[in-house]
Amino acid sequence: MTDPFTLAGVGAVVLAEGIKFLYQQAGDALKRWRRRKDAHPAGSAESVDARLPADAFKGRLENPKVHFDAVQRLEPALVDLRHAVADYAEGIYDVDPGDQRLLQAVDGLRQVMEAVYGQRITFLGEPRPASGPVAVGEVKVDNVLGYVAGLRARDIISGSATGRVEVGTVHPGGTAVGLDVGTLGSPPRRSSYPTGDPDEHEEKPSSGT
């Protein structure tokens, strides 16, 4: 669980903007989930345009999606925590970074939205890795006869990953690794121009004589 005291060093303005974002995105996730329950569509996730405000968060979300299994599982907490910060999100009360009850509610809502998006969300000024994709894997096993990994992926393009393995005995021929790297994050956008200056690829009018 995240320590809410990591938010203690976040300024009031940053915290206020972050609360507005989390409040709005929590409401959007709940609306999408309830529409989904009525329509019964296929698929377990839906892409959303959730851009972290640069004046409130560090890092960015990579191709964010609302994972409906997380919304379904955490719906009561999502509703309660959103309600707990509503007056601050709507500007009725000023944000006090020294209010521990508020920080706990904000941290709780942030954690729920991290589960909904499957990505880390970090405030500016917070001693915590930047927002973005994150993967954590852990395996505990007594005897390793073959191959075991705490976390496997194809490429870590962006974000962070942590793998951990606790083993008793690795027998001859056995291998235990914490992290087997695969794909994490989105590849950078490729230029629409193959090489050189984009102007070189523009069609220039011919000079008639």
Given a cut of 60, whether residue 37 has pLDDT beyond it is yes
**Which residues are registered as beta bridge partners of 193?**
none
How distant, in Å, are the alpha carbons of 37, 65, 66, 72, 111 from that of 34? 5, 16, 12, 9, 21
Classify the phi-psi angles of 190: left when phi > 0, otherwise alpha if psi is within -120 to 50, otherwise beta: beta
133-177, pLDDT tens digit by residue? Answer: 975 545 555 554 544 444 444 444 444 555 555 656 665 655 555
Mean pLDDT over each residue of the chain, to the nearest integer: 77
In degrees, to the nearest 5, what angle opens at C-alpha 165 toward C-alphas 160 and 168?
170
Given a cut of 50, whether residue 207 has pLDDT beyond it is no
Instruction: Give the E-state strand segments of 33-153 in sequence order.
Output: 45-47, 57-58, 65-67, 119-120, 122-123, 132-144, 147-152
pTM for this structure? 0.65
More confident of the two residues 114 and 37: 114
The one-letter code for the residue type at 68 is F
Bridging pattern class, strands 122-123 and 65-67: unpaired
Given a cut of 50, whether residue 191 has pLDDT beyond it is no
- Of the pLDDT bands very low, low, confident and very high (cuts 50, 70, 90), residue 36 is confident
Taking the CA atoms of residue 150, residue 153, residue 159 and residue 160 in that order, the dihedral angle to the nearest 10 degrees is: 20
More confident of the two residues 172 and 6: 6
| Structure tokens that stand for 181 in this block | 């790297």
Task: Give residue limits of the domains in the chain.
Answer: 4-123, 133-180
* Mean pLDDT for the stretch of residues 70-98: 95
The reported pLDDT for the residue numbered 57 is 97
